[in-house]
Amino acid sequence: MKYRLLLLSSLLVSGAAFAQHANPNMKKADIGMLELHAEKTVATSVHTPENKSNYTDRVMSDGLGEVIESLDFSAGYVTSNGTWTNSSLANGNEEWEYRGPSTTPDINTGSRGQWAGSGANFSMQSTSRLNGYAIMDSDWWDGGTNGTSGQQSAANHQAALTSPILDLSTYPAALLTFESYLRNFQSFFYVIVTTDGFSTSDTVWNGEDTYTVNEDSPNAELIKINVTDEIGGASAAQIRFLYSSNGEATNPGLYYWMIDDIVLATPPDHDLAIDDVFYNGVGPFVSDYQFNNYYQQIPVRQSSADEVVFGAATANRGTTAQTNANLTVDVAGPASFNSSNTSFTYAGLSFDSTNVVDLYSADEVGSYDVTFTVGADSTDDFPEDNVVEQSFAVSERIYSRNDDVISSGVYWGTGTYGIYSRFDVFADDTISGVSMNHYYSNTNTNFQTAAGSVAEVGIYAITGYDANGVAVVDLASPMTDANGNVAVAYYVVEEGDQNNTIMVRFDEPVGIPAGVTEFLAGYKVSSGTIRTSTSAEFAGYGNIWVSTDAQTIVGYTSTTNPMINVEMWSSSLCANTTIVISIDADCDAGNYEATLSPNVTSTGSNDFVFDWSTGESDVDEIIVDAEGAYSITVTDANFCTETYDFNIANADISCNLAVGDLANNDFGMKVTPNPNNGQFNIVFDATRNQNANVYVRSLKGDLIYSTAVAVTDGTSIDMNLSEIPSGVYLVKVVGETSTSVERIVVQ
């Protein structure tokens, strides 16, 4: 099923964005990606493709094919077929630069641009880098290095490195390989081929399709492109490496592209490869995947109920048919797994997709490593791209698509912009909160989350899909459970929040309503300026959504992952939590008042919210001017609750309030039997006769039962609560001078 959103009102396309100013003329991706507007930042994210191939042998011989053209830059741009042409196709002077062992700069210098990030200190680490390589340094051409002028005025950069004319008339099939290292800001990294001198041409590769704003590719990534259909058998074929910033006149695309070891050869005999992997997906194209990356973290309740079908988009890039081909998936972790799909046949130069046979469910907390392997009867000529490795974690409570790496930024300008991630519901569950992350640049004051800004954090149900498979969601209606608890909260950004992940919890845990199988979780700007950090982990197809102040989804991107985590809640969190409360009273006799403050310790979370019987809420002290009975309810970050009832009086605090005692001496109370079925006795060993109240509360603090009693030594009270559900409860007795509490288990 494809994940897209139905627009609930007219589209409002304006300034949301990733990292820098976006180009309004930039090419839309095939899946309908919205261009997003942003600003320059020195932050960089490193995108590591799922296929982490590390080739060390570039020899193309025997079964690896016959070399037609090879450019390793050992003689500059000259090869046995002639000289590659280096030129600018725009109005400037920008061209590819040759980095050789004796040039200035030499092979040890990468990008010299002011925004180059890691490229400023890291040159191409290709197989034959010592012979030289080529770089199109758009950042340097446009902006120069820090503190210097650019090499030309801002303009569209069009630098072309073009092969001589190649005769492929005796080569009906051809494979183009090269090593690539790039960093992208709204630029295009084209490999173009032609058979008629570029009167017509075909784009066979564009790095921008994989690496989005501020992303780096792996250094010396081997790219393999089957160009058989485009130039196979042609008598006058040419190849062009074209860097195009294709931007506004005042703000072209930036950063760099380094290439080396270009080889055009006949395809190898045997070359199975994994192009991508997916979970519960089908089809060889990204738009056909349900999602091709699993969650970075998934709560055990959800992962236990999620039966995963592992699959892969695989290809035979060799010329020989592959028999008995098989895809195998191994999972190493607390719940190990192995499954295969065997005995399918690939014709030469073909591709397909397949799933393993068995379903998988990760039902234990821990880390999981997943290895996808494709093979066949024949020995593979390029075995490195037969294996893809991924990992994920099963957690107690956290649901996350991101990898917890703060690496880039998103900015929303004026208006209410927001960002959301999609999550699946596999089992009944309850949500306690959603995390948000604030980006803060120490070097660019325009790229900061402002203290005092307010975010609206929420969960929104995806209510269905239309006939075209488009999802429907209403961002004006947060998810609400059967008890009326609403999955929305407002958070005011404080100094120090920047570059930290803040968990924003709802007023009460919100149960996921029956029938909800997917939801969006995230936040939008209510006021001020909020920029969120993003991770470099590839998010899969349609998992991230951008909204506007009209409550309308206007676009999404699938190549940047916002730092949004969902926190689940369970009553079991409180079963073993003990919250101990006492009260300090500070007397101000002259003003006839006392300041009361709590001392709280807990075996669970130490992040507390206080609610007083006087009406004050979320304050850690109150002032009272009359003696009497008071109570305080303490709720920790896990929504575990304890209520403490006490008396405040003049005798203990030397105030001019009234006559009485501040005491919490135990009654010597005993509950029998315990555990019980809801029927039990309370027996007192009291030191004095007094009137008291009996309270039975759940661990969340909900009052289940109360009654008034007269306590004397040996008093026994019969309790019948057989109608209450099984669980752990607190029995508290509050008297005139004494308080006692017992924990009981109802079975």
DSSP 175-195: EEEEEEEEEEES-EEEEEEES
Q: In what order do the strands lie in the sheet with 690-698?
A: 703-711, 690-698, 727-735, 739-746
pLDDT, tens digit (0-9, with 9 covering 90-100), for 90-104:
776 789 999 999 999
* Cα→Cα distances 439→15, 63, 298, 497, 728, Å: 17, 51, 25, 9, 43
pLDDT of residue 108: 92
Q: Which two tokens stand for residue 301?
A: 């309740």
| Rounded-to-integer distance, Cα 283 and Cα 539, Å | 18
| Rounded-to-integer distance, Cα 24 and Cα 185, Å | 13
Q: Which two tokens stand for residue 476?
A: 């004006």
Better-scored residue on pLDDT, 45 or 564: 564
Phi-psi region of 275 (alpha: psi -120 to 50; beta: other; left: phi over 0): alpha
pLDDT at 74 over 90: yes
Select the highest-mean-pLDDT range: 33-42, 78-87, 372-381, 663-672: 78-87
DSSP string, 449-476: PPTT-EEEEEEEEEEEE-TTS-EEE-TT
Q: What percent of the chain has pLDDT over 90?
A: 37
pLDDT band at 26, cuts 50/70/90?
very low
Q: In what order do the strands lie in the sheet with 622-624?
A: 579-588, 593-602, 622-624
475 closest CA partner among 12, 36, 14: 12
| Rounded-to-integer distance, Cα 689 and Cα 142, Å | 89
pLDDT band at 619, cuts 50/70/90?
confident
pLDDT of residue 147: 56
pLDDT at 539 over 50: yes
pLDDT of residue 171: 94
pLDDT band at 607, cuts 50/70/90?
confident
* Cα→Cα distances 329→370, 377, 401, 476, Å: 7, 18, 21, 42
pLDDT of residue 732: 80
pLDDT, tens digit (0-9, with 9 covering 90-100), for 260-311:
999 999 998 899 998 888 887 654 443 444 445 788 999 999 999 999 989 8
Better-scored residue on pLDDT, 336 or 247: 336
Please answer whether residues 102 and 78 qualify as being in contact, where contact means their C-beta atoms are separated by less than 8 angstroms: no
Give the burial string for 108-129 (b: 16+ CB within 10 Å, else e).
ebbbbbbbbbebbebbbebbeb
| DSSP H or E stretch at residue 313 | strand 310-316
pLDDT at 250 over 50: no
pLDDT of residue 697: 81
pLDDT band at 40, cuts 50/70/90?
very low
Domain spans of the chain?
68-265, 272-322+330-395, 398-569, 573-746
Please answer whether residues 6 and 175 qualify as being in contact, where contact means their C-beta atoms are separated by less than 8 angstroms: no
* Cα→Cα distances 91→23, 462, 526, Å: 19, 49, 45
pLDDT of residue 301: 95
117 closest CA partner among 43, 186, 180: 43
Q: Where are the beta strands (DSSP E) in 317-453?
A: 322-332, 337-346, 350-355, 366-375, 387-395, 398-400, 408-412, 418-424, 430-437
CATH architecture of 573-746: Sandwich (2.60)
Tell me if the domain spanning 68-265 has CATH number 2.60.120.200: yes
pLDDT, tens digit (0-9, with 9 covering 90-100), for 447-491:
778 889 899 999 999 887 666 555 578 888 999 999 999 999 999
Which residue blocks in 28-122 are alpha helix, DSSP H? Answer: none
| DSSP H or E stretch at residue 86 | strand 85-88
pLDDT, tens digit (0-9, with 9 covering 90-100), for 393-436:
999 999 998 887 766 666 555 566 788 888 999 999 999 999 98
pLDDT, tens digit (0-9, with 9 covering 90-100), for 196-233:
999 999 999 999 888 877 778 899 999 989 899 999 99
pLDDT at 611 over 60: yes
Q: Which two tokens stand for residue 608?
A: 């507390």
Q: What percent of the chain has pLDDT over 70?
A: 77
pLDDT band at 326, cuts 50/70/90?
very high
Give mean pLDDT, residues 583-602: 86
pLDDT at 381 over 50: yes
User: The domain 398-569: what is its CATH number?
Assistant: 2.60.120
pLDDT of residue 674: 85
pLDDT at 369 over 50: yes
pLDDT, tens digit (0-9, with 9 covering 90-100), for 649-688:
776 677 767 433 334 445 677 888 988 899 998 888 766 6
| Rounded-to-integer distance, Cα 31 and Cα 33, Å | 6
pLDDT of residue 15: 28
Please answer whether residues 522 and 419 qualify as being in contact, where contact means their C-beta atoms are separated by less than 8 angstroms: yes
pLDDT of residue 689: 75
- Say yes or no: do domains 68-265 and 573-746 share a fold: no
User: The domain 272-322+330-395: what is its CATH number?
Assistant: 2.60.40.10
pTM: 0.70
pLDDT at 600 over 90: yes
Q: Which two tokens stand for residue 332?
A: 């190493």
pLDDT of residue 652: 65
pLDDT at 368 over 80: yes
